[in-house]
Amino acid sequence: MLIRPKEGILDAQGQTVERALPALGFEGVSGVRIGRLVELEVEDGARLEEMCETLLANPLIEEYEIEEITAP
Amino acid sequence: MVRFPGSCDEVDALRACRRFADADLLWYEDRDLSGVDAVVIPGGFSYGDYLRVGAIAGLAPIMEAITRFAREGGPVLGICNGFQVLCEARLLPGALLPNVGLRFLCREVELGVVSADSPFTRACEPGRSLRVPVKHFTGRFHAPPDELERLEAHGQIVLRYREGQNPNGSVGNVAGVSNRAGNVLGLMPHPEHAVDPRTGSADGACLFASVVEHVESGVLAAAA
């Protein structure tokens, strides 16, 4: 699960990093958003969205993406 | 007074409560609130602030009993981390985000009592200023614009930072917000650290006095 601040929510961490990058010579960077990555293993992925809605993300301030990778 | 693993302000908060009434500690695994007239969730770092501040504590065993207590109209006060827990448990509207300046803040701020109709401010004069400390990293109150309008319309914004005193970038200078029924209040500042002039301010005492007055008036009304 990729969880990041919702559009329109001021992301203070993202802003700070965005200001720090040019100081190191990385010009032309914008729209930095910082979130978190939750990796987990499940037998059945049917309830992943429910997990995000109830605990892993706070839908009021965060949006999430679920990426399922099936073990080979 | 609820203690979670990682709470750290429960002793000061107990002392503040005991100036006005009996107060005892509850443990996060307790499921029985019988004999309790009011619940306080103190500040601290419950569950190490893992995942999101207040998120894990919001699911702790005692929260089921607190939710029931709140639905029945029992007064619940959340201070700092307690405010974060009540938002995560969806007993209060909105959410708390990291301070705009990304700094841990520890200083005294001036609050305005917006409404003295609340069980938590009835002993304070409306419009009165309270000098109370804040100490937090994640104290920026957020609610979407339409929600904020509803909160204002229903008188749920009980405390505001005075103009120029908003330490964390909270929307609308909101320092303390209640649920629609008014019996659950969360605030980021720490009234329990401001109950004795010898430590700077005694302005926080009126919140604890208010809850006791509220409970006593209920008891008197029930007896009448």
* Residue in B with minimal Cα distance to A10: B100
| B interface test, pick of A58, A62, A63, A64 with most B CB neighbours within 10 Å | A58
- Quick one: average pLDDT of A5-29? 94
The reply to whether residue B97 touches residue A56, judged by beta carbons under 8 angstroms, is no
Number of domains in chain B: 1
Please give the pLDDT value at position B83. 98
Burial zone of A42 (CB within 10 Å; 0-12 exposed, 13-18 middle, 19+ buried)? exposed
Domain of B64, in residue numbers: 2-223
* Residue in A with minimal Cα distance to B53: A58
ipTM: 0.86
Q: Could you tell me what percent of chain A has a pLDDT over 90?
A: 89
Q: Which of B182, B191, B183, B185 is nearest to B209 (CA)?
A: B191
Chain B contact present for A69, CB below 8 A: no
* Residue in B with minimal Cα distance to A56: B51
Which one is catalytic: B10, B192, B206, B214? Answer: B192
Residues of B in contact with A58 (CB under 8 A): 52, 55, 88, 95
The reply to whether residue A12 touches residue B95, judged by beta carbons under 8 angstroms, is no
Burial zone of B219 (CB within 10 Å; 0-12 exposed, 13-18 middle, 19+ buried)? exposed
CB atoms within 10 A of CB A33: 16
Confidence of residue A72 (pLDDT cuts 50, 70, 90): confident
pLDDT in tens, chain B (224 residues): 999 999 999 999 999 999 999 999 999 999 999 999 999 999 999 999 999 999 999 999 999 999 999 999 999 999 999 999 999 999 999 999 999 999 999 999 999 999 999 999 999 988 889 999 999 999 999 999 999 999 999 999 999 999 999 999 999 999 999 999 999 999 999 999 999 999 899 999 999 999 999 999 987 777 77
> Which CATH number do you get for residue B121?
3.40.50.880
Please give the pLDDT value at position B220. 78
CA distance B12 to B15: 5
- Quick one: average pLDDT of A41-53? 94
CA distance B114 to B61: 34
Please give the pLDDT value at position B141. 98
Count of A–B CB contacts within 8 Å? 31
